[in-house]
Amino acid sequence: MSAPSTHDVLGTTVTMPVEIRHARCFVAGFTADTAAVQRAIDSESTRPGTLRPLRIRPGRSMCMIVFVDYIDGDLGPYNEFGVCFLVEDPSQPPTSPLSALASLVKGDARALVHRLPVDGEFTLAAGRGIWGFPKTLADFDVDHTSAGRHGRVEADGRLIAELRLKAGLKVPDTTADTVLNAYSQLDGVTRMTPWRLTSVSGTRTRIGGATLTLGDHPIADELRSLRLGRHALMSSSVDKITMRFEDPIVI
């Protein structure tokens, strides 16, 4: 077997894969205008059309808004806010909405990490340098312990977004490996990172149940341009996730 790859991040050696031993999160999924999502994706690409939004019904795709608290992991503790789009497999021809839903049911999830504010310098450098994730610095006020989760993220003194969740129904824990293909676009390079979930516990989920407030930051303006649905399709919270980030693949 070949030796694990390593990366130098701010003078510290990071050995792959990166292990996350405890993280927790909450997420809400909103429908978005497919054409607007495609424009947002292409705005960060030197090859427009390389990544295509996954259409869940004619003219509508999915935008996921997520807050993550990394408690114990190889990159240290930090908070993260993500704007992610579900996308199609770029190596395959476009699919119909029905085929897209069938693919999701089977667990074949692919997501573009489009915006990713964090509150740590080290994870910012690692995220951008290793995986090409578009991490930027921000300030967080997040509650992961109350029944109703709450997250607020600001940058440069301006509100990006505030998300509130109502409690959902408990979902069985799992220790089955699940791989999410996470795409990123940075500095003209598109990458795909195998993101392996090794255990998930304390999950609660429901239809709807989320309230999203947008501020006056440019990321908030971009979210408005997506014509998000007035109500979330679904929302979930997770008390503990363990996962592993592999080396990225340039596509």
Distance CA 164, CA 150 (A): 4
pLDDT in tens, 66-98: 999 999 999 999 999 999 999 999 888 777 666
Contact 242, 15 (CB under 8 A): no
Contact 100, 87 (CB under 8 A): no
pLDDT band, residue 220 (cuts 50/70/90): very high
CA distances from 218 to 15, 123, 152, 159, 180 (A): 35, 22, 15, 9, 28
pLDDT at 135 over 80: yes
% of the chain surpassing 90 pLDDT: 88
Assigned token pair, 104: 């999701």
Average pLDDT, the chain: 94
Identify the bridge partners of residue 55 per DSSP, sorted by sequence position: 61
Task: Determine the pLDDT at residue 165.
Answer: 98
Task: Determine the pLDDT at residue 227.
Answer: 98
Task: Determine the pLDDT at residue 91.
Answer: 84
Task: Determine the pLDDT at residue 4.
Answer: 87
* Averaged pLDDT, 181-204: 96
User: What is the dihedral sign for C-alpha 100, 101, 106, 109?
Assistant: positive
* Averaged pLDDT, 27-34: 98
% of the chain surpassing 70 pLDDT: 94
Segment among 101-110, 113-122, 216-225 with least mean pLDDT: 101-110
pLDDT at 37 over 70: yes
Task: Determine the pLDDT at residue 23.
Answer: 98
45 SS3 class: coil
